[in-house]
Structure formats: structure tokens, C-alpha cells
């Protein structure tokens, strides 16, 4: 630690005004404040300051994502070996998944952070680490076999069009990670949907055990077939799917962490779950085909629901900001997710579109919540 501090102090003059490398000032500043909590103090007036700044906040979310990431790596190996009819140890499974997903994570972080640094340099802003979370969310919600250049394109699109041109971190309208995923989903549907993309190596079709199908529950339901796995499997997550989102349990652990640290909004998570449950129960009551009768609780376990509701819907920038707005926002996400899943055969997964759609309407929800508050208080004044 001391050594790091000393090195930084020694390098600092080079980056300050007049120094040789002063044009890289924001990069240096970003690195320094990343490693050490800055001790800046305000000069005028009194402010209440907390040690937790944007970097610390973002890092908490990354920590919350760790269980899902590690499990996802193991599951990738597990599914691969299952498909090939081989048995492998826990470690082998993990190692396989680790090597498979590491390049995706590296590309996503490399491209994203590189662009972010570039924009900060151009604008002369300090670097803010909004991308720390998106950079991990993007690989976690993509299929394991996705070509790296697609990851790079999607990340670049999400960072530039989705975020930087709106003024950077904290100003984006849509969640950047979801923007990346939907961009890929629409631009390259072949790599992003179907039964073959969710398990590594399934596309090549070499050496696959007879009868093994990589179909996800969502994929089956979309063509009117029953779910073939138990709810327990779906909850634990040893099923084919995107890297980080198969296990509802691991997402739940991350979610509890986010709630305890006060970073994720429990209102949004709870209302999303309630919305989906409510809509699912209404459809159950109507009945008719497989999807209508699909137990409402299972909607919470399959696909990316848990992942989306916990990590993406709660994005503090693109979500609704007001207390009551959060409830409305979350509930509508839940309802829309189930509606899109059940009624839109073109898109088996509903949660990503539901969140994007509500991101678009979140400012409107906020506007009306604020307005109704003003009206209520005005009427109190008049009375």
C-alpha cells in the first residue's frame, strides 16, 4: 500500500498542470481515486460527505455480481461436459467456463473503458467509473459462444450511442448493458437466439450426446411445449442459458447484498416480482394453453428474470427516481415481462425489453409523481 501511494505521489507532478503528461490528467486522477479514497474537501459552505462515492458504489455492485459470475463460469463448463457426455470435476468445469468467458469479459471491459477514457480525455472531465458495472453485466447477459467482435461492437454502441453522447455516466436514458444486448439481439438474431447458442460448442454439433438439447425453458414455452426441468433446477441454475443469469439463487445472494449495502432499491426489486406474479396469476386464472397455465412462480425462476430485476431494473440512472415512481416502474416491468413472454413468440425473453420500455417511460412516471405531490401539497395549503 505504502509503495503504491509513494509511486503515485512521485508520478503526480507529471500529470498536473504544466507537467509533461498533463493531457492525461484525467486518466491519472481516475486511477488515483480508484485506488485510494480521495480526501478532497469542499472549500465553501457546509456539506455532508460520505466516504462512498461513485467508484465505491459501482464496486459494490461488481461484488454483488461475483457469485453469479463464478457460478455462471462453472455452469458453462458443466453444460458443455453434459452435452458431450463427459463427466468432469468441479474444478475442470470451472476452468473450462473461466477460459471460455474470460476473453468476453476482457473485450467488454477493454472496449468500454477505452472508449470511456477517450471521451473523458476529449471533454477534459474526470473519469467516472460508470462502466465498471456495465462492463461485467454485458458478458453476463450474452450467450457463451458469442463472437468477440460482436461483443466489441455492442459495447461500443452501448457506450457511445447509449451513454456518452447523452453526457456520460448518470445521464443515459437507457441502461447501457441492456442497450448492448438488445442491439445484438436485433442486429444478429442468429447468434442471440435459438436452441443452440446457450451451450458452448453446441453449434458445431460435434460429439454431442444423443437426446441432449440446449433448448431453454423460454424457448420451449415459446413454441408451446412444456417445461422439461424442475423448478428446483431453474432456481439453482444448472440449466443452459446466458452466463450470469441462469441461477436465480446467485442473483438473489447478490440482490440481498445490494439491499443490505443500500445500493439497490428493494422497492424496485419487490414491485417487479409482485408485478410478474400478479400478471402470471391472472393468466393462470384465464388458462388455455401451456404458457397461460405456466405457474406464476416459475416465471420468476426461468430466463433472466432474477438477473434483470435485481441488477438491471435497479440501475439508479435509468430507473424512476421518485419513491412512488419506483413502485410503478417496477410493477410495470414485471407485468410487461410476463406479457411479452406469453404473447410475443418472436421474443422468448421479455425482461430485457420490459426494462428498456420502462426506462423510456421512467421520466414520465417521475414527472407525474412529482406533479401529484405538488398538487396534494397545494391543496393542503389552500385548505
Query: Residues in the site for another protein, rule: CB under 8 A?
Result: 123, 161-162, 165-168, 171, 173-174, 179, 182-183, 186, 336, 340, 343-347, 350, 353-354, 356-357, 359-361, 363-364, 366-367
Q: Compute the least distance from the CB of residue 172 to another protein, in Å.
A: 9
Q: Which is nearer to another protein, 91 or 367 (CB)?
A: 367
The dihedrals phi and psi of 11, each to the nearest 5 degrees, come to -75, -25
Q: Which is nearer to another protein, 274 or 357 (CB)?
A: 357
Beta strands in the chain (DSSP E): none
Cα distances (Å, whole numbers) of residue 378 to 369, 371, 381, 383:
14, 10, 5, 9
Q: Compute the least distance from the CB of residue 371 to another protein, in Å.
A: 9
Q: Compute the least distance from the CB of residue 182 to another protein, in Å.
A: 6
**Contact by Cβ (8 Å): 5, 38:** no
Q: Which is nearer to another protein, 262 or 316 (CB)?
A: 316
**Contact by Cβ (8 Å): 22, 16:** yes
Q: Which is nearer to another protein, 186 or 285 (CB)?
A: 186
Q: Which is nearer to another protein, 174 or 236 (CB)?
A: 174
Q: Compute the least distance from the CB of residue 216 to another protein, in Å.
A: 18
**Contact by Cβ (8 Å): 27, 18:** no
Q: First-to-last CA distance in the chain?
A: 62
Longest dimension (CA), the chain: 78
Closest CA to 355 of 171, 190, 176, 222: 176
Closest CA to 60 of 158, 138, 129, 151: 129
Q: Compute the least distance from the CB of residue 274 to another protein, in Å.
A: 21
Residue 54's Cβ-count burial label (10 Å; 0-12, 13-18, 19+) is middle
For residue 164, count other CB atoms closer than 10 A to its CB.
23
Q: Compute the least distance from the CB of residue 166 to another protein, in Å.
A: 5
Q: Compute the least distance from the CB of residue 366 to another protein, in Å.
A: 8
Q: Which is nearer to another protein, 120 or 196 (CB)?
A: 120
Find cell 458452448 and name the residue. 200
**Contact by Cβ (8 Å): 177, 141:** yes
Q: Which is nearer to another protein, 99 or 171 (CB)?
A: 171
Amino acid at each position: 500500500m505504502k509503495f503504491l501511494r509513494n509511486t503515485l505521489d512521485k508520478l503526480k507532478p507529471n500529470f498536473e498542470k504544466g507537467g509533461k503528461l498533463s493531457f492525461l490528467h484525467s486518466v491519472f486522477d481516475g486511477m488515483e481515486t480508484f485506488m485510494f479514497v480521495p480526501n478532497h474537501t469542499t472549500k465553501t459552505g457546509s456539506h455532508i460527505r460520505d466516504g462512498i462515492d461513485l467508484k465505491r458504489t459501482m464496486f459494490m455492485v461488481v461484488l454483488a455480481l461475483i457469485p453469479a459470475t463464478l457460478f455462471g463460469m462453472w455452469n458453462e463448463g458443466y453444460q458443455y461436459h453434459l452435452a458431450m457426455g463427459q463427466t468432469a470435476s468441479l474444478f475442470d468445469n470451472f476452468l473450462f467456463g473461466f477460459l471460455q468467458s474470460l476473453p468476453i469479459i476482457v473485450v467488454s471491459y477493454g472496449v468500454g473503458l477505452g472508449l470511456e477514457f477517450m471521451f473523458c480525455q476529449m471533454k477534459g472531465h474526470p473519469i467516472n467509473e460508470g462502466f465498471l458495472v456495465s462492463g461485467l453485466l454485458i458478458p453476463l447477459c450474452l450467450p457463451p459462444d458469442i463472437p468477440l467482435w460482436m461483443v466489441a461492437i455492442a459495447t461500443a454502441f452501448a457506450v457511445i450511442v447509449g451513454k456518452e453522447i447523452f453526457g456520460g455516466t448518470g445521464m443515459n436514458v437507457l441502461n447501457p448493458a441492456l442497450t448492448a444486448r438488445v442491439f445484438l439481439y436485433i442486429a444478429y438474431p442468429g447468434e442471440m437466439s435459438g436452441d443452440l447458442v446457450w451451450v458452448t460448442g453446441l453449434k458445431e454439433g460435434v460429439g454431442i450426446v444423443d437426446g441432449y438439447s440446449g433448448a431453454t425453458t423460454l424457448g420451449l414455452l415459446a413454441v408451446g411445449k412444456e417445461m422439461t426441468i424442475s423448478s428446483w433446477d431453474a432456481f439453482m441454475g444448472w440449466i443452459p442459458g446466458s452466463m450470469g443469469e441462469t441461477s436465480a439463487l446467485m442473483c438473489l445472494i447478490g440482490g440481498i447484498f445490494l439491499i443490505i449495502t443500500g445500493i439497490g432499491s428493494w422497492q424496485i426489486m419487490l414491485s417487479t416480482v409482485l408485478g410478474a406474479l400478479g400478471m402470471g396469476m391472472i393468466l393462470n386464472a384465464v388458462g388455455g394453453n401451456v404458457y397461460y397455465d405456466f405457474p406464476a412462480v416459475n416465471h420468476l425462476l426461468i430466463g433472466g428474470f432474477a438477473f434483470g430485476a435485481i441488477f438491471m431494473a435497479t440501475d439508479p440512472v435509468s430507473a424512476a427516481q421518485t419513491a412512488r415512481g419506483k413502485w410503478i416502474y417496477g410493477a410495470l416491468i414485471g407485468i410487461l415481462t410476463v406479457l411479452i413472454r406469453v404473447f410475443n413468440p418472436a421474443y422468448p425473453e421479455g425482461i430485457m425489453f420490459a426494462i428498456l420500455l420502462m426506462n423510456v417511460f421512467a421520466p414520465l412516471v417521475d414527472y407525474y409523481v412529482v406533479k401529484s405531490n405538488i398538487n396534494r401539497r397545494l391543496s393542503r395549503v389552500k385548505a
